[in-house]
Amino acid sequence: MSGTGKRFPLSLSSIADKPAGSRQTTRTATPQTATRNAAHTLAIQLAGKAAKPVSNAVAGKPAQNGAGKPATNSAPGMQPARNMPAQQQTERTMPMVSEGVRRAMVARVARQGVKDPKVLTAMETVPRHLFLEPAMASQAYIDASLPIGHHQTISQPYIVARMIEVMRNNAQGGVLNKVLEIGTGCGYQAAVLSLVAKEVYSVERIKPLHELAKANLRPMRIANIRLHYGDGMLGFPQVAPFDGIILAAAGLEVPQALLEQMSIGGRLVAPVGAHHQVLQVIERINKYEWTTVTLEDCHFVPLRPGTAG
């Protein structure tokens, strides 16, 4: 790990450090529809652990809520049962909903090097399987990214935890007031973030995925997440500055708008690159200076400009 003091504006790709070893590989995405499982116990669990509600809704929206190793294990006999009531559907199609499976996932993430107890607890709390369509849910806790439709993926558990751990490793002892996620996808990482930050804002450029995240997060009733449909490369200036920003998609460089929307002392964690990507953490030192540290190889879907209906 190495650090470089830099003055922006600068092309981040021009100052990228040498990467460490590779951890993630490419996954292929296939279409899927929303997982609409009532999650009452989960809502209670999350409500109990989530930070205080955000008091001011953003952009006129009401409070609404929501890359890896090959898949190796899958539960047998998993059939979607779409005409059943949601609660029964959950029981029928999610035999592995047990907290034990999730605990095993978290233990694996810890073995992979994530140490932050707050992050590990958050990962243990959020039911990853509810962010996948029933046919995929049996694979929810494997060590891989998985398809969520529209050629996008839910990120691998390790990388979700790793990015949040890195973001929390700030001079404020891990305190995060406002956090911005670029690339909501199915809403999973936003849910994890809601347990480590006071306010979470998440932007998605693909409308059906923005809707999917809303549908996934609504039953969980997480009060401190705001979802926004738009181009995350522009950031979220109405709400900035953010003391944490996470990009869930890789650009050739981190957009200048996002650097400008960081608070002093804030940390941005992003995959950077095209075929060869590295995870970078950028910290804002003062109004004019940022430092960049390259952590490890990774693989994410591409960051794209504009929006898609």
In the set 19, 134, 147, 232, which binds ligand SAH (CB under 6 A)?
232
Q: How far is the CB of 119 from ligand SAH (least distance, A)?
A: 14
- Of 248, 259, 269, 281, the one binding ligand SAH (CB under 6 A) is 248
Catalytic residue among 155, 194, 202, 263: 155
Find residue 199's DSSP bridge partners.
Answer: 178
Q: Choose, by CB under 6 A, the member of 249, 272, 279, 295 that binds ligand SAH.
A: 249
Cis bond leading into 19, ω under 30°? no
Q: Where does this chain touch ligand SAH (CB under 6 A) — which range of 75-83, 182-190, 278-286, 288-296?
A: 182-190
Q: Is 187 left (phi over 0), alpha (psi -120 to 50) or beta?
A: left
- Residue 183 binds ligand SAH, judged by CB under 6 A: yes
Among 36, 128, 129, 205, binds ligand SAH (CB under 6 A): 205
Residues 6+ apart with CB under 8 A from 275: none
Among 54-62, 86-94, 267-275, 300-308, which window interacts with ligand SAH (CB under 6 A)? 300-308
The size of the interface with ligand SAH (CB under 6 A), counted in residues, is 25
Residue 16 contacts ligand SAH per CB under 6 A? no
Please enumerate in sequence order all residues whose Cβ is within 8 A of that of 68, keeping only pairs 6 or more positions apart, or say none: 24, 25, 27, 143, 144, 145, 155, 156, 158, 159, 299
Site for ligand SAH in 139-158 (CB under 6 A): 152-155
| Residue 255 token pair | 């957009």
Q: Are strands 277-284 and 262-273 parallel, antiparallel or unpaired?
A: antiparallel
d(CA 43, CA 218): 9
Site for ligand SAH in 250-289 (CB under 6 A): none
Structure-token match 């952590």, residue found: 295
Active-site residue, 194 included: no
- Tell me how far apart the alpha carbons of residues 18 and 16 are, in angstroms, rounded to a whole number: 7
AA identity, residue 305: P
Using rule CB under 6 A, residue 188 touches ligand SAH? yes
Report the C-alpha gap between 271 and 250 in whole angstroms.
5
Give the N- to C-terminal CA distance of the chain in Å, as an integer: 40
Report the nearest approach of ligand SAH to the CB of residue 87 (Å): 24
Q: Would you count residue 245 as binding ligand SAH (CB under 6 A)?
A: no
Footprint on this chain of ligand SAH (rule: CB under 6 A): 152-155, 182-186, 188-189, 203-206, 209, 231-233, 248-249, 301, 303-305
Q: Kindly list the catalytic residues.
A: 155
